[in-house]
Structures are given as C-alpha cells and as structure tokens.
Amino acid sequence: MEGNFTEEEKNGFYKAIYSRRDVRSHFISKPIEDKVLSRILHAAHHAPSVGFSQPWNFILIKNKETKQKIKESFEKEKERSSKLVEEPKKSKYLSFKLEGILESPINLCVTYDPTKFGPFVIGRSSIPEAGLYSVCCAIQNLWLSARTEGLGLGWVSILSNDILKEVLSLPDHVVPVAYLCLGYVDDFAEKPDLETVGWLPRLDLKDVVFFEKWDTKENSSWKSIRQLLNENLDYA
C-alpha cells in the first residue's frame, strides 16, 4: 500500500527512538548546517496539535551572554533543588552533569502560546492542558529528528521560568515549556545517564500496562499481548 514503511524504514524509526538520549555532555564544536537545522525544525512543526492550533514557537540561541545567564539560573535552581533530598543522594545529585548550555552550539527555547487562533480551539475546551501537550509532541519530533541527524539534544528543566521569560523577552501570556541544548556529540551512551549511574531503574513495560481498568494486569481478552510485553525488541 502506498505510504507504508519498508522494513528498513521501520528499523530506522525504532532505532531513533531506542538510541535517543538526553544529552548533557559529549558536545563537540562541529557546526550545525542550516539545512540540517531546518529539517529538524520542520519535523517539530509537523507535530500533531489540538485543534490544529500549532501553539509552539522556537527561539534559537547562540549568544554567549544569553547562555551564561541561563547557566546561572541553572546553577541556582540546582542548588535550591538539592535541599529537597538527603545525603548521600544529595551529594550524588550535585555531582551529576545535568546540562550542556555553554558547550552546545545552539540552545532552543520551545514555548506555548495559548492565544494563537483566538480563545476557542477545537478540543481544548474540556482539557485546557491539551495545548501544552501539543508543544511536547513538537519537542519529541524535534528530539527524534535530531537523533536521526546524529545530533545530541538535552532538555534542561532545572531552570526558573521567570528568568527564561525575562532573558528571552517573552510576552506575559507565552509559557516557556522546554530549554534545549543541541549539537553534535562524540558519543551516544548505550543507556540513559541516570540509569547507568543507578539513580533510577528502567521499569519493565509489563509493570506499567493495565487492561481495561486501573491496576488490572490480568484479562483474558489481552492474554497474547500480555505475553509479548515481556519480550525485548531488537533496539530496546
């Protein structure tokens, strides 16, 4: 059927998913070609959105002074959040490399504008957060396309949104959703960093899938899929 994916194309898609990493280090100085950056942004802009509202904007950042201000916010927020955990986890947390703001050649801020196309958006009246979820879909598209292009991307969530709005001159109604670090890297880790250092384990899929109702893990109608959830895929 026209439009179907070949086996090779399917494998490439799943490879991008399973080898995607939240990159905090390993950035190198190789510049990102405009054509590559354009392809990534086009992929992000083709994400699904509630009511076709496309509520995202992408702020591209190279300026060193801007990056430094964001880095300072990160340091303050990391120190503040460390007070929420006790030793020895506190020291372990503080030792982690959790961003690549200055090292990555390009930073991006992805924002949410709830006013696009007016106050009424199809599908958002019952669940207002659907607009924010749409922006997250765009971020995921951007992340996977970056990985496909051999680029590392890291999401820096240890930041003050107030500082982001001030430094980037965001209008009051625009919400910063993600601050991202983008660049070529010399290595993609086999596993996520926090899994590798033992901060948290990866949960088994069978433990997070329910059938028909919350916390129901056994149902005769879903027996075969239940068994398949225990199997590993080639790129898992």
In a shared domain, residues 148 and 216: no
Q: 87-144 pLDDT, tens per residue?
A: 999 999 999 999 999 999 999 999 999 999 999 999 999 999 999 999 999 999 999 9
In a shared domain, residues 192 and 207: no
In a shared domain, residues 126 and 212: no
In a shared domain, residues 63 and 115: yes
Question: pTM of the predicted model, to two decimals?
Answer: 0.94
Q: Which long-range contacts (CB under 8 A, 24 or more apart) does 29-34 make?
A: 29/105, 30/105, 30/183, 30/184, 31/105, 32/105, 32/106, 32/151, 32/182, 32/183, 32/184
Q: 53-63 pLDDT, tens per residue?
A: 999 999 999 99
In a shared domain, residues 98 and 168: yes
Residue 31: CATH number of its domain: 3.40.109.10
In a shared domain, residues 152 and 218: no
What is the total count of domains within the chain?
2
* 152: phi then psi, degrees, rounded to nearest 5: -90, 145
In a shared domain, residues 113 and 139: yes
In a shared domain, residues 182 and 232: no
In a shared domain, residues 177 and 215: no
Q: Is the residue at 107 inside a domain?
A: yes
Q: Are 117 and 53 in contact (CB under 8 A)?
A: yes
Query: What range does the domain containing 107 cover?
Result: 20-196
